């Protein structure tokens, strides 16, 4: 099929590359000229394992094209995916300006029947808005081309995005027309050869499904963090409790790790948007609001432990920070816990020596030329002369470090572990003062 993907970000670029990999002809449109030029030279603007190979192969074999021009992409494609950002607006709702701008542009340029697919995460009712905006543009032009609007939310995870897209647990398609459902099934058939389902539903249900999925996962994270905070007050071992409940198939082990709370480009904004939707419809979503509140608190609790250890005086203290991205295997720092932790430490006069395998350039942009933040070439270099190590992201390489080398580099052998990477008994034997999530508090 001939497809247009509008937006070449984490979702758009993966979607484009994976559809091209299956033999479709895909035009990927992005408004950012520098990004498009880089892509045409084989440079991938984000870090996502395996993506570079996919993009290069399909670009070289003429199945994947990049452009800033929407008009020809719309004209040449039957199916147009909208994969632009839907960031959080000031009132917590999803900012739909980019999605509706694309819809307007599609209406301006379409020259025949088209299927417009919402791939971006958008609140209930957005398909109706997209339809309305396109109709307005067609009316202005005196045209009456037919089109359908489909909701096809994306469930990929950054870090394993290609695998998730190529072998999805399920594909959700919201549409009101049987023929369009058949078209979407045909498009996705190569991705579900192992019989994972393509679930066809109405548009509104598909729009809500994406938010419900993210809200459930975010709530699971807040739930285990809340249990960890109860462990801190009871002396129970959170890692044992986690295993004890996670092995129950009804609960499951995934998304059950205590830590600094959820971050990233999706969970925080999608929780806020769902809360906003529910509240605007007269329903206060108590579980979601509680999950959000626990999430906000989680970083404060961690910072309190650091402050307490240094007797409320962080002035001129030096912290090595391992991990800046919101999770491993990505360079995405949107809403990353590390940014909150670093910002609060800086406010209290501390200095930071940061290290991350992929997210240092994004973090450098975020903090600008802050004189109290430096970036180390390796995890061990970040430790040099530091008063303590703070671990914010669980990159695999942090799991089995050379503890003796760490001790030699640090000014004092103190670790604040926001991801529970190590065995507390082992670290105590090695002479570390080791703080982790869920640790017993001195009451
Ligand atoms: N990142 C994820 O893991 C993930 C997973 C599932 C769903 N989503 C959802 O997918 C959507 C996109 O997320 P993302 O992380 O890929 O965003 P992103 O910010 O990485 O990418 C969006 C891209 O759209 C481009 N763009 C904006 N306006 C445009 C326009 N008018 N025409 C052409 N290009 C335009 C931007 O330049 C940018 O490159 C969001 O709604 C998000 O919630 C994201």
pTM for the predicted model, two decimal places:
0.96
The pLDDT score that the predictor gives to residue 194 is 87
Q: Which of 175, 231, 266, 392 is catalytic?
A: 266
CA–centroid distance, 96 to ligand 1, in Å, is 11
The pLDDT score that the predictor gives to residue 381 is 98
The pLDDT score that the predictor gives to residue 237 is 96
The pLDDT score that the predictor gives to residue 302 is 97
Print the SS3 string covering 188-248.
Answer: HHHHHCCCCCEEEECHHHHHHHHHHHHHHHHHHHHHHHHHHHHHHHHCCCHHHHHHHHHCC
Name 200's Cβ contacts closer than 8 Å, sequence gap at least 6: 173, 174, 175, 181, 184, 185
Probe target for ligand 1 pocket from 6, 8, 11, 206, with the most ligand atoms within 8 Å of CB: 11
CA–CA separation, 63 and 311 (whole Å): 60
Closest ligand 1 atom to Cα of 46? 20
The pLDDT score that the predictor gives to residue 287 is 98
CA–CA separation, 339 and 337 (whole Å): 5
The pLDDT score that the predictor gives to residue 303 is 98
Q: For ligand 1, which residues put their CB under 6 angstroms from it?
A: 6-12, 29-32, 35, 83-86, 98, 101-102, 120-121, 154, 156, 158, 265-266
CA–centroid distance, 229 to ligand 1, in Å, is 35
10-residue mean pLDDT series, the chain (443 residues): 97 98 98 97 95 97 98 98 98 97 98 98 98 98 97 97 97 96 98 94 98 98 98 96 97 96 97 98 98 97 97 97 97 97 98 98 96 98 98 98 98 98 96 96 76
The pLDDT score that the predictor gives to residue 300 is 97
């Amino acid at each position: 099929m001939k497809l247009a993907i509008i937006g070449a970000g984490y979702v758009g670029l993966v979607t484009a590359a994976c559809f091209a990999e299956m033999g479709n002809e895909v035009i990927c449109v992005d408004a950012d000229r520098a990004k498009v030029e880089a892509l045409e030279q084989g440079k991938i603007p984000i870090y996502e394992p395996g993506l570079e190979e996919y993009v290069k192969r399909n670009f070289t074999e003429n199945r994947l094209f990049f452009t800033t021009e929407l008009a020809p992409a719309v004209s040449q494609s039957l199916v147009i995916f909208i994969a632009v950002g839907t960031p959080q607006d000031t009132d917590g709702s999803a900012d739909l300006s980019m999605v509706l701008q694309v819809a307007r542009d599609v209406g301006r340029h379409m020259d025949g029947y088209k299927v417009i697919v919402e791939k971006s995460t958008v609140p209930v009712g957005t398909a109706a808005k997209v339809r309305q905006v396109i109709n307005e543009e067609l009316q202005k032009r005196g045209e009456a081309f037919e089109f359908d609007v489909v909701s096809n939310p994306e469930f990929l995870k950054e870090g394993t995005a290609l695998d998730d897209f190529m072998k999805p647990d399920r594909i959700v398609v919201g549409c009101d027309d049987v023929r369009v459902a058949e078209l979407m099934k045909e498009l996705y058939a190569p991705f579900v050869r192992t019989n994972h389902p393509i679930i066809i539903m109405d548009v509104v249900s598909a729009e809500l499904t994406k938010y419900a999925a993210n809200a459930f996962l975010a709530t699971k994270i807040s739930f285990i963090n809340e249990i960890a905070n109860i462990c801190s007050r009871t002396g129970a071992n959170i890692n044992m409790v986690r295993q004890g409940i996670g092995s129950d198939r009804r609960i499951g082990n995934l998304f059950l790790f205590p830590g600094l709370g959820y971050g990233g480009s999706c969970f925080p904004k999608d929780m806020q948007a769902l809360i906003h939707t529910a509240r605007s419809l007269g329903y206060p979503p108590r579980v979601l609001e509680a999950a959000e509140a626990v999430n906000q608190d989680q970083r404060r609790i961690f910072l309190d432990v650091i402050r307490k250890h240094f007797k409320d005086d962080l002035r001129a203290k030096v912290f090595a920070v391992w991990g800046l991205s919101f999770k491993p295997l990505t360079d995405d720092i949107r809403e990353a816990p590390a940014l909150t932790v670093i910002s609060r430490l800086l406010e209290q006069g501390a200095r930071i020596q940061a290290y991350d395998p992929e997210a240092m350039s994004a973090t450098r942009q975020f903090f600008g030329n802050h004189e109290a933040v430096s970036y180390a070439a390796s995890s061990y270099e970040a430790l040099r002369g530091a008063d303590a190590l703070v671990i914010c992201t669980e990159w695999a390489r942090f799991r089995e470090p050379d503890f003796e080398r760490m001790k030699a580099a640090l000014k004092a052998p103190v670790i604040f572990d926001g991801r529970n990477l190590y065995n507390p008994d082992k670290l105590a034997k090695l002479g570390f003062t080791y703080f982790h999530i869920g640790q017993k508090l001195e009451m």
